[in-house]
Structure 1
């Protein structure tokens, strides 16, 4: 899931109020603009613009909104390969905020814009798109609002957007799927490929279900399928992910020696934090703080997790404190409009706690995940369709890349979901964490070869063995 939020930049300098003026029944348009961001040192040609569409399709009185787009031209374009449309995670993340950094990354350039153009967009409601449903001052993580105050602030923020005329029912995966098709048409692209990461794979699923025209091939990195439950079973997924890391530590001599009996000791710390807030170093922390940290850390930093867990066990809360200071990485409104439409209506608030009774680490996430339900109960995102919870069935060639260690998108979900994708290929990467392509040279090689010919089996010979020991950082 994309970890950065971005307050709407002035691409085109239109405000929310000016976007909501006269009635529109116009066709989608693409208007070129200057690129927002520091592209100095980027050696690729990048063109930027806005896809301008009706917020509510089919409504002649709809406001017009902007979807920010950046087109990155390939370093060595190969004839016959269509452009790749990149779909960021979250929901509530941004593709354009970190794009200059991506294009300066030697690792990511192994497949990004190597021989295909790549098209990045900030999905409607977030990033550099307008409006941006950001809620300044409210915190939100994948585990949910970390306090009642944050939950109330998000509700008030969303209701304020509604009062300004924003139609919250139009900020979800189905609408983004239609935006992608509108972009394909206005750019006159007969074919496109898709690359999605984390919740971006949920957008890919919506495209493959609702708007598959012109899609040649799809890569899902750290997949989140429509039929999965976000909150019910969510605490256990986090706990299981941490268990995997601790078990891997236990079989590496150096790690086991430095951090003995991690599982029992972490359970003891979790039970203590669940009993009440902890005041350490003059600051007070809650069970929500620890739970959110554990989920975030096991997403991306499994290699240092045993070291940092040991710090916490010893009473040093610096890892948690650093996390608490960085919890404003989502466009909160966009996050909630998606979840309240596509996930939470199909889940039971009371069932979030099911199975956590004997697992204090899992219990750390229960209350914050239940707050997601509370926010959804307080806002109106329009009619709900069971189609949004149905498994995908498609014949579009799809490559699934799943990490062995992933508290949000565990590999079992990928294996189950892939059954509906005719001829799909599933790659589970040992010792990898969320966002497989970021840290795996083998995964990057596989992605590029798949896009070059999605009809052929990918070469898995570079993947680590299933029993390969995990590397840990101790300093």
Structure 2
């Protein structure tokens, strides 16, 4: 799962220069092809290497089709050595989604490092790569014109567009069964090999830890330690249970408002009133104002996307009581703001993952049954249901059940989760960590999805963990459990 803020970082900086197709090599032989980095990237910040990993789409000689994975390596500015005098291994970064990207953000990262040289790639080399099927790789399974969020396709037209798009890729010879976590784990092993790394560290956020878990399962010999930020574990259900998780996040946020006298006075009994509002949206399209103009019309799917996106986002969470008041009053501008941008995924890559390793282990009936009776949860059901329709039409083969099972490992792992997270809530993290014998779990009060980059405290914690994964992390800088959430109100309401 990936949020708007992460999408803006990972997808919005289209700075990668696409290279020419690489000639096929001998089957099953991974190749790293160097290429020039974009000329508009800042120089002198870090030593940078750009290129592409070229591998078989299907390993084992099933096809001679070759694919490319875009890669950027940022060399460490001050390589750290452990107690034995050994330099730390590189950090492989895993983006979220599925359907995100990292290499397009490399230029932005270098610009940020000009101002804040301590942000990353200090102790260890940093390897950014776009997981197969997305970003600047070839193929990149994008579906232009189709909208898709973590709440699913927001309309029947988007559902049908996804089906048509995926079938087009299949007709072009793309084997969608080869775009998933288990195969990416092999890509990571191959990339480490061609770059000359015997060991690597893993660092990912959101769906990134889902891929990290596959590397730990299938290629444990190359992994020294792992950091998982707002993690989505393999055993999580993508659709089933998500409506209840979103509803729980809304209740948590509104409960924090009710616990503060000023917020409670501004928004009395807001949870009950919003449940009544949700029932109205479930009954049919709602018409209201946007920008002071009447006649704006939105559906329950638009409210669904709003709830998912807002409860992921730090500022969205802080505005939620005020935004819900607007919606109840007929001002639908908060809905319109989210509806304006819902194309931040590489949609084909996203669905290839879901149809292989997530939805075959779930069902539409369980989705509906779990949300029944909770109007806020029921808002999420129509759009999430469409995901099953897409997968049924495309017909990928289900993954091996091990891909949906909890991981058992001794790899030292730091889990950092947000207290407020509708997609990757703390109970998922706490349950997953039980299989990691050398794990540490940190839940950050009032934090939202994408915790580590949210504060100097958590960034320092992760950096120190990788310096010595055997030591307990220092939690003294974290906010206390009773820290009030700082809500944002409209100036007019103040």
The TM-score with structure 1 as length reference comes to: 0.94
CA–CA distance in structure 2, aligned partners of residues 434 and 410 of structure 1: 9
Partner residue of 2:84?
none
Partner-residue secondary structure (3-state), 1:120: strand
- Structure 1 contact 41–104 (Cα < 8 Å) conserved: no
The CA RMSD measured in Å over matched residues stands at: 2.0
- The answer as to 2:99 corresponding to 1:92 is yes
Shift of 1:140: 0.4
Counterparts in 2 of 1:103 and 1:8: CA distance versus 1, 3 Å: closer
Tell whether the 8 Å contact from 2:185 to 2:211 is kept in structure 1 after alignment: yes
Is the Cα contact below 8 Å between 1:193 and 1:218 reproduced in 2? Answer: yes
The farther-off stretch of 146-155 and 59-68 is: 59-68
* CA contact 1:436–1:443 (8 Å) conserved in 2: yes
Match of 1:50 among 49, 52, 57: 52
How far the C-alpha of 1:312 sits from its partner, in A, is 1.6
CA distance in 1, matches of 2:46, 2:203: 19
Q: Aligned match of 1:369 in 378, 381, 384?
A: 384
- 1:32 Cα offset (Å): 1.3
| Alignment match, 2:308 | 295
Query: What stretches of structure 1 move > 6 A for 4+ residues in a row?
Result: none
Distance 1:302 1:99, change over 3 A: farther
Q: 1:88 to 1:99 in 2, by over 3 A?
A: same
What is the CA distance between 1:356 and its match in structure 2?
2.4
Aligned residues: 470
Change beyond 3 A, Cα 1:111–1:454: farther
- In structure 2, what is the equivalent of residue 11 of structure 1? 18
Out of 83, 89, 92, the residue aligned to residue 82 of structure 1 is 89
- How far did 1:31 drift? 1.0
Judge conservation of contact 1:146–1:289 (CA < 8 Å) in 2.
yes
Separation in 2 of the partners of 1:9 and 1:273? 42
Question: Alignment partner of 2:120: what SS?
Answer: coil
Partner residue of 2:354? 339
Aligned-residue offset at 1:59: 1.7
Distance, in Å, in 2 between the alignment partners of 1:182 and 1:473 is 47
Q: Does residue 1:252 correspond to 2:260, yes or no?
A: yes
Q: For the structure 1 residues 357 and 125, does the alpha-carbon distance in structure 2 shift closer, same or farther, using more than 3 Å as the test?
A: same
Contact 2:92 2:128 in 1 (8 A): yes
In 2, the alpha carbon distance for the partners of 1:41 and 1:321 equals 40
- Which shifted more, 302-311 or 97-106? 97-106
Query: What is the alpha-carbon distance in structure 2 between the residues aligned to residue 24 and residue 169 of structure 1?
Result: 22
State whether residues 340 and 381 of structure 1, in contact with CA within 8 Å, keep that contact through their aligned partners in structure 2. Answer: yes
Structure 2: distance between partners of 1:166 and 1:316:
45
**Structure 2: unaligned runs, 5 residues or longer:** 82-86, 289-293
| Structure 1 partner of 2:69 | 67
- 2:410 corresponds in structure 1 to 395
Alignment of 1:188-199 (within 5 A): 188-199=196-207
What SS does structure 2 have at the residue aligned with 1:343? Answer: helix
Q: How does 1:9-158 map to 2 (within 5 A)?
A: 10-14=17-21, 24-36=26-38, 38-40=40-42, 43-59=45-61, 61-79=63-81, 80-105=87-112, 110-158=118-166
Equivalent of residue 464 in structure 2, options 449, 452, 465: 449
Per the TM alignment, residue 178 of structure 1 is displaced from its structure 2 partner at its CA by 0.7
Conserved 8 A contact 1:8-1:129:
no
How far apart in 2 are the matches of 1:45 and 1:308? 45
- Give distance in 2, aligned partners of 1:309 and 1:84: 41
Q: 2:209 aligns with which of 183, 197, 201?
A: 201
Give the secondary-structure state (helix, strand or coil) at the position aligned to 1:354: helix
Q: What is the Cα deviation at residue 10 of structure 1? A: 4.8
Unaligned runs of 5+ in 1: none
2:291 corresponds in structure 1 to none
